[in-house]
Amino acid sequence: MSAGEKPKIGVFGAGWVGLVTGACFAELGHEVIVRDVLPERIAALESGRVPLHEPELPELLERNRERLTFTLEVDDAVSAPIMFVCVGTPPTYSGDADLSAVWTVVDQLPELEERAILVMKSTVPVGTGEKVRAALDARGLAHVGYVSNPEFLSEGSAVRDFMHPDRVVVGAFTEADGAAVTALYEPLETTVVQADVASAEMIKLAANAFLMTRISFINEIANVCEATGADVVKVAEGVGLDHRLGPHFLRAGIGWGGSCFPKDGVALKQLASNSGYHFQLLNAVIEVNELQKRRVVGKLAKHLGSLRGKTIALLGLAFKPNTNDMRDAPSLILAPRLLAEGAVVRGWDPVALEEAKQALRGVELSETLLEALTDADGAVIVTEWDELSGLLTSELRDAMRTPLIVDGRNLLDPGEARAAGFVYESIGRAAHDLDVLPETEEPETKLHQ
Ligand code: UGA
C-alpha cells in the first residue's frame, strides 16, 4: 500500500453489520472484500441482490460495485491488512453469547506473513479480546493486531448511523493498532473514544443495556399512567426536555425486540453472574419487557371477553419498521399467546411476510391491511410502520367485525381514532382509553353498523 492510499478492508460476515460496514467503507473509498460462509448469500450479492431490507443499502452497494468483492474464500478476505469480524453472536441456551462463529474466523486465519489487524465489530462478552489475543499469540500470530470497535448501528437507519455516528469506540492493545483503526473513521469527523479493549467491549453492552433500561422505565411509567389517569406521551415529552435526561428511547409501547437487545441484555446479565455479580436492575429491566408484551392480551380481553374464536389481526410483524428482521420480534410472542387463548390470528407486514412464513406458525398471513382486517374482532399495532398511520379509514373500520384497535406503539391519535369510529386502546394514555365497546347480545354483528 503506498502512502496516502486507503487500506483494503476484509469483512467476515455478510449480515446486517457486515454488509453495512463493507458498503460504507467502500463508499469512503476503500476496496472491500466481504466473506460469508453461505453460498446462496454470496451468489445473491454477486448478482446484485441484497438479501435483507435496509434503507439506502442497495443503492450504496450498487454505487460501489467496483470496490466491493463478495467471496466464500477465507484467503481472499485475509489479503486485506485490516479485517473486520462481523459475524453473528446469537444466544446459547445458557444465555451466554455463542462465539463459535468468532472463533471460526480466528482459527481459520492462515499463517499471515504481513502485519494485519483483526477488528471485532461483533458484540462479544467483556474478556473476549484478551482470549483472542492469547489465541493469536499461541498460534504464532503475535504480529496480527486486535482491536475492539463495537457497532452502534440501528436496523432501519444503519447506513445513516455508520456515516453519521455519535461516536466511534476503539479499544486496542497497542497505540499503533488503535491509531490505524481510528484513521479509517477520519472522513466521518466524529469523536473517537480510545479505550482499553475490555472497556470498549463494555461500552457496547452498557449502551444497549441503558437503552433497554430507558424503554422499560417508560413502559412502567406508562403502566402507572394507565392506573392513575396520566398520559405517558405527555409525560415523556416533559421528562425528555430535561437536558440531563434527553428525549430518546422514551417511547412507551409493548417493549423491545430485535436481533440485539434481547440477546445482549441476557448476555450482559450472564456475564455479570458468571463473574459473581447479580445485576438486579438489568434482571428487572428484562422482566418488565417480557410482561409488557403480554398486557396486549388483557387489553383485547377487556373489550372482547374471552378471545376463543375471536379473530385478531397483528399489524406489523418485523421487530421494528424499515426492516424485515423478525428476530425476537414482539409478534413472535403475541401470536402464540393469542393462539393459546383460542384466537384466530392474522398477520400483516409490508416487507416481512416471507420471513413471517417461517417464523409464525398457525398465523394467517395477509398481503393487504383490508384482507387482514376483514371480519376481525380486533387489531393490534405491533410495529409502527408508516403505512399504519392511514389505518383510520371508514373502509377498514367497516370491514372489521368490531372496530377495536389496540395500539401497541401509540402510533395513532386517540381523539382521531375515536372520531373515526374506532374503539381505541393504547399504552399509558389512560385519559384516552375510556372507550368501551357497546354491549351487544350478538357479538358477531358489526358494531358500527
Ligand atoms: C439497537 C441499538 O439502538 C443500536 O445502537 C445497536 O447498535 C444495536 O441495537 C445493536 O446492538 O446492534 P436495533 O435493535 O436495530 O438497535 O433497534 P432500536 O431502534 O434500538 O430498537 C430496538 C427495540 O426497541 C425495537 O423493538 C423498538 O421498537 C424498541 N423501542 C425503541 C421502544 O420500544 N421504545 C423506544 O423508545 C425505542
Q: How high is the pLDDT of residue 95?
A: 84
Atom of ligand 1 nearest to the CA of 254: 33
Residue 434 has pLDDT above 70, yes or no: no
Give the pLDDT band (50/70/90) at residue 200. very high
More confident residue, 3 or 42: 42
Q: What is the pLDDT of residue 445?
A: 39
Residues 275-302 pLDDT 10s: 999 999 999 999 999 999 999 999 999 9
pLDDT at 432 over 90: no
Mean pLDDT of 202-210: 98
Residues 212-240 have a mean pLDDT of 97
Give the pLDDT confidence of 100-123 residue by residue, as tens digits: 999 999 999 999 989 999 999 999
Cell of 392: 383510520
Of all atoms in ligand 1, which is nearest to the CA of residue 248? 36
Spot the catalytic one: 24, 86, 225, 260: 260
At 412-427, the pLDDT tens digits run 999 999 999 999 999 9
Among the listed residues 128, 151, 266, the one whose alpha carbon sits nearest the alpha carbon of residue 198: 128
**Average pLDDT along the chain:** 94
Helix ranges (DSSP H) in 165-260:
175-184, 197-228, 232-240
- Torsion-angle region of 241 (φ positive above 0: left; ψ -120 to 50: alpha; else: beta): alpha
Checking if the pLDDT of 446 tops 60, the result is no
Q: How far is CA 265 from CA 268, 278, 286, in A?
A: 5, 13, 7
Give the number of other Cβ atoms within 10 Å of residue 46's Cβ: 12
- Rounded Cα distance between 368 and 347, Å, is 10
pLDDT one-digit tens code per residue, 149-188: 999 999 999 999 999 999 999 999 999 999 999 999 999 9
Contact 303, 378 (CB under 8 A): yes
Atom nearest to 151 CA in ligand 1: 7
Whole-angstrom Cα distance, residue 406 to residue 376? 13
Which has more pLDDT, 444 or 303?
A: 303
Choose one of 320, 322, 326, 407 to mutate for the ligand 1 pocket test, by most ligand atoms within 8 angstroms of C-beta. Answer: 320
Q: Is the dihedral of CA 429, 381, 240, 278 positive or negative?
A: positive
Lowest mean pLDDT, pick from 1-5, 73-77, 377-381: 1-5
Q: Which atom of ligand 1 is nearest to the CA of 207?
A: 5
Q: How far apart are CA 288 and CA 271, in angstroms?
A: 20
Ligand 1 centroid vs 256 CA: distance in angstroms?
7
**365-413: pLDDT as tens digits:** 999 999 999 999 999 999 999 999 999 999 999 999 999 999 999 999 9
pLDDT of residue 161: 98
Strands 378-381 and 192-195: unpaired
pLDDT reading at 449 higher than 50: no
Structure confidence at residue 448 (pLDDT): 40
Q: Residue 16 carries which side chain, given as an amino acid letter?
A: W
What was the pLDDT predicted at 431?
A: 52
Q: Over range 351-359, report the average pLDDT.
A: 94
* Closest CA relative to residue 364, chosen from 385, 391, 345, 336: 345
Q: Which of 195-204, 378-387, 399-408, 437-446 has the lowest mean pLDDT?
A: 437-446
Q: Return phi, psi of residue 99, to 5°.
A: -100, 15
Joined together, the cell numbers standing for residue 6 give 486507503
pLDDT at residue 430, rounded to an integer: 73
For residue 258, give the ligand 1 atom closest to its CA: 14
CA distance 118 to 177: 9
Q: Which cell numbers hold the place of 165? A: 455516528
* Grid cell at residue 306: 374471552
Instruction: Quote the ligand 1 centre to 154 CA distance (angstroms).
Output: 6
pLDDT higher than 50, residue 442: no
- What is the Cα–Cα distance from 30 to 149, expressed in whole angstroms? 18
Tell me the C-alpha distance between 314 and 383, whole Å: 9
433 pLDDT band, cuts 50/70/90, is very low
- What distance in Å separates the CA atoms of residue 31 and residue 323, rounded to the nearest whole number? 27
Spacing, Cα 76 to ligand 1 middle (Å): 34
Residue 260 is a catalytic residue: yes
Task: Quote the pLDDT of residue 366.
Answer: 97
Alpha helices in 109-195 (DSSP H): 128-138, 158-163, 175-184
**Residue 240, CA distances (Å) to 249, 250, 289, 426 in order:** 9, 8, 21, 20
CA of 9 to the centre of ligand 1 (A): 28
The fraction of the chain above a pLDDT of 90, given in percent, is: 92
Residue at 221: amino acid letter: I
Distance CA 134, CA 269 (A): 25
Spatial CA neighbour of 96 closest among 269, 348, 285: 269
How many CB atoms are closer than 10 A to CB 161?
A: 17
Pocket test for ligand 1, best of 16, 21, 153 (most atoms within 8 A of CB): 153
Alpha carbon of 354 to those of 155, 366, 367: distances in Å?
Answer: 18, 11, 11
DSSP 335-390: HHHHHHTT-EEEEE-SS-HHHHHHH-TT-EEESSHHHHHTT-SEEEE-S--GGGGG
Query: According to the model, what pLDDT value does residue 443 have?
Result: 44
Question: How confident is the model over 119-147, as a mean pLDDT?
Answer: 97
Mean pLDDT confidence for 45-70: 96
* pLDDT of the residue at 5: 87
Ligand 1 centroid vs 285 CA: distance in angstroms? 14
Nearest residue by C-alpha to atom 11 in ligand 1: 260
Confidence of residue 441 (pLDDT cuts 50, 70, 90): very low
The rounded distance, in Å, linking the Cα atoms of 420 and 424 is 10
- Ligand 1 shell residues, CB under 6 Å: 123, 151-155, 208, 211, 215, 249-251, 253, 255-258, 260-261, 264, 319-320
Find the largest Cα–Cα distance for the chain: 82
